[in-house]
């Protein structure tokens, strides 16, 4: 007869149950089989048991047969009076047909009986079959089927337990069964890409931090990095490689955004259900969930993976401290925000690295051609795609899949040209998640860096931002680093991935897709010239930084009126571009004015910049009266 975990949902491995427990109730239900079911259940092995699963009013035989068909494996407890039960014998026949017949695992436990007695129908087994024949209740075919089934199961590799002959303590025997079943019934593996590149070294780094061989401690390990860099894939690969070493495991997928009572209770219930295999555990408050987790988890050695964490309260209410868990437990946390890990006291951390050039080449080659080489005719456009992707695994996955269907060089170039104009929407949305999490002040600074300051010296950028915003944005760069949006190079320059830069610029472009003068920031020479020549600037523009135009003979043909409506322009940097005439207006809101080759010796008569802090103009510029720049701390006139 049988054993389960009170769950009726089909899991991703296609089975409702891991093990069907076939046994003679009066012999072992209240001791051996009951204890075995409990041990399997506590290990998180979904085990069917008839007295828990079969309810009054159901067709018992049909329900038992369905449970066998939904089970991955079976344990057959062959006790002295086992063969007296027609139910047990019918179940055994169905187990051998359905589970053993499809190559599944069937394990006979010879409990206080010799395998030979079962095989040759001797002692109690011979007596039971003789009684069945004597009663004349069953057909010859049925009796022959039972005899063949007993012979077949007795010939399978099994285990003998005879407590009366000193085979050891029962709990030790049960523990051995559970360990074997745990090995055979592989814990549910997380799905990861078939073709992995650049993962093995980082996987070993994380395994070293987890130190699974040390059973006396509980470790939490944080895996952090920018969006799309492969944090989840790395964590899943590590999880799959060690999950069979734990008494229970749980993967909490995409924790991001699950906050407040409803979100946290949902996470707590998933964790309790997956670790303990019980859907009957349902907590209704965060505090109740905390109490359940504290009491239950400390008894088990578990492996947890919390993916895409973005808030501290998620950690505090799910994995508050090592003391919650049994000895040897491990917790992995993936996040874009290293500050969440620091504040939770997670000292063991791994920052996921971008793919190097060779790794990116290898992965993109596979995604686009699924061969071991790139056609020589495609080499140039392939390298162009490689440069655009810049080692980000997410981009390789998405763009590689897109390019896979393109068969000509012209099609490849067309796709890449389009991406330069408008970033791939799927990549954009995934990367933008980190931006969406920022408060407005941090968003402003990120957009400034993405649009203007990539590659610039950190101290220079701080000076510009301080002048533009004042003291309130003083420490925002550090927050952006913690959120994995930007980095500081070894030379103290600001760096960010090309696709994150594109994401920031696209956010600004979408403020007004067709009217540059309606955007908050202008950095493109083409857009700036259009706004200045057509007088389409508005009060929405806060910053204009016009880089050196390599076409040195370019001239902005304007009437000098373009700045009149830019009443909130704070920063204006122009270099290397000639103007047909001098400006008739400059915004009094300016805090930073840098204009090399300024086309006049004078400022407009109505220009009174009371907030101006940085002013750098051509050396020929006529110096105004001393009180003109009341606040300016940097001047080069």
- Give the mean pLDDT of 487-514: 94
Length of the chain: 637
State what percent of residues in the chain have pLDDT above 90: 63
CA distances, 530 to each of 422, 523, 573 (Å): 19, 12, 16
Tens-digit pLDDT profile for residues 315-374:
999 999 999 999 999 999 999 999 999 999 999 999 999 999 999 999 999 999 888 888
What is d(CA 346, CA 205) in angstroms, rounded to the nearest whole number? 16
Burial grade of 564 (CB within 10 A; 0-12, 13-18, 19 or more): middle
Beta bridge pairs of residue 619: none
Catalytically active residues, by annotation: 91
Concatenating the DSSP letter of every residue in 436-469 gives HTS-HHHHHHHHHIIIIITT-BHHHHHHHHHHHH
Is residue 266 within 8 A of residue 284, CB to CB? The reply is no
Residue 20 pLDDT level (bands cut at 50, 70, 90): very high
* Whole-number pLDDT of residue 7: 34
| Verdict on whether the full-model pTM lies above 0.85 | no
Backbone phi and psi for residue 350, each to the nearest 5 degrees, phi listed first:
-130, 125
Tens-digit pLDDT profile for residues 553-569:
678 999 999 999 999 99
Helices of type H across 70-104: 86-95
Cα radius of gyration (the chain):
35
* Whole-number pLDDT of residue 225: 95
Beta bridge pairs of residue 592: 571, 614
What is d(CA 606, CA 189) in angstroms, rounded to the nearest whole number? 71
* Whole-number pLDDT of residue 175: 87
Q: Which of 1-15, 30-44, 212-226 has the highest mean pLDDT?
A: 212-226
Question: Which residues are within 8 A (CB) of 616 and not within 5 positions of it... i.e. 6 or more apart?
Answer: 593, 594, 595, 596, 634, 635, 636, 637
Residue 196 pLDDT level (bands cut at 50, 70, 90): confident
């Amino acid at each position: 007869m049988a054993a389960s975990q009170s769950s009726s949902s089909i899991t991703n491995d296609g089975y409702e149950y891991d093990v069907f427990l076939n046994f003679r109730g009066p012999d072992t239900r209240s001791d051996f089989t009951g204890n075995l079911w409990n041990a399997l259940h506590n290990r998180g092995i979904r085990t069917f048991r008839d007295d828990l699963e079969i309810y009054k009013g159901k067709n018992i035989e049909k329900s038992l047969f369905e449970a066998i068909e939904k089970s991955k494996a079976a344990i057959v407890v062959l006790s002295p009076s086992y063969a007296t039960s027609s139910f047990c014998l019918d179940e055994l026949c169905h187990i051998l047909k359905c589970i053993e017949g499809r190559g599944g695992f069937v394990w006979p436990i010879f409990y206080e009986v010799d395998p030979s007695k079962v095989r040759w129908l001797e002692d109690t087994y011979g007596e039971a079959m003789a009684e069945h024949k004597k009663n004349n209740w069953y057909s010859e075919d049925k009796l022959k089927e039972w005899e063949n089934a007993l012979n077949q199961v007795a010939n399978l590799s099994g285990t003998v337990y005879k407590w009366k002959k000193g085979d050891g303590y029962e709990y030790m025997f049960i523990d051995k069964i559970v360990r074997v079943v745990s090995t055979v019934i592989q814990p549910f593996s997380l799905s990861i890409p078939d073709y992995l590149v650049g993962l093995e070294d980082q996987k070993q780094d994380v395994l070293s931090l987890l130190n699974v061989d040390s059973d006396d401690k509980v470790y939490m390990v944080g895996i952090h990095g920018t969006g799309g860099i492969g944090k989840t894939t790395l964590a899943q690969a590590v999880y799959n490689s060690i999950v069979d070493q734990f008494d229970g495991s749980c993967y909490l997928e995409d924790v991001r955004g699950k906050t407040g009572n409803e979100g946290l209770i949902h996470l707590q219930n998933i964790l309790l259900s997956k670790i303990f295999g019980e859907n009957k555990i349902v907590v209704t408050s965060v505090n109740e969930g905390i109490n359940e987790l504290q009491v239950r988890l400390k008894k088990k050695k578990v492996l947890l993976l919390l993916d895409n964490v973005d808030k501290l309260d998620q950690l505090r209410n799910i994995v508050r401290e090592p003391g919650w868990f049994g000895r040897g437990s491990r917790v992995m946390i993936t996040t874009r925000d290293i500050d969440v890990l620091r504040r939770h006291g997670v000292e063991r951390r791994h920052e996921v690295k971008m793919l190097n050039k060779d790794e990116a080449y290898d992965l993109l080659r596979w995604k686009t051609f699924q061969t071991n080489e790139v056609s020589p005719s495609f080499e140039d456009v392939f390298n162009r795609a490689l440069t655009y992707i810049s080692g980000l695994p997410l981009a390789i996955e998405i763009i590689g899949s897109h390019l896979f269907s393109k068969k000509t060089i012209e099609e490849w170039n067309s796709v890449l040209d389009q991406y330069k104009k408008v970033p791939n929407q799927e990549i954009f949305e995934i990367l933008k998640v980190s931006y969406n999490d920022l408060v407005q002040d941090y968003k402003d600074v990120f957009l400034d860096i993405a649009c203007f300051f990539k590659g610039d010296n950190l101290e220079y950028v701080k000076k510009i931002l301080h002048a533009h915003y004042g003291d309130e944005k003083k420490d925002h760069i550090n927050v952006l680093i913690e959120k994995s949006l930007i980095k500081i190079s070894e030379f103290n320059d600001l760096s960010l991935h090309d696709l994150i830069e594109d994401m920031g610029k696209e956010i600004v472009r979408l403020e007004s897709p067709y009217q540059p003068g309606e955007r908050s920031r202008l950095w493109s020479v083409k857009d700036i010239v259009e706004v200045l020549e057509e007088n389409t600037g508005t009060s929405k523009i806060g910053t204009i930084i016009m880089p050196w135009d390599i076409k040195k003979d370019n001239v902005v043909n304007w009437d000098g009126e373009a700045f009149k409506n830019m009443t909130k322009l704070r920063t204006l940097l122009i270099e290397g571009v000639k103007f047909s005439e001098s400006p008739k207006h400059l915004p009094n809101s300016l805090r930073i004015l840098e204009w090399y080759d300024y086309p006049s010796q004078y400022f407009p008569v109505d220009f009174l910049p009371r907030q101006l802090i940085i002013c750098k103009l051509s050396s020929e510029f006529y110096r105004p009266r001393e009180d003109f720049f009341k606040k300016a701390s940097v001047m080069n006139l």
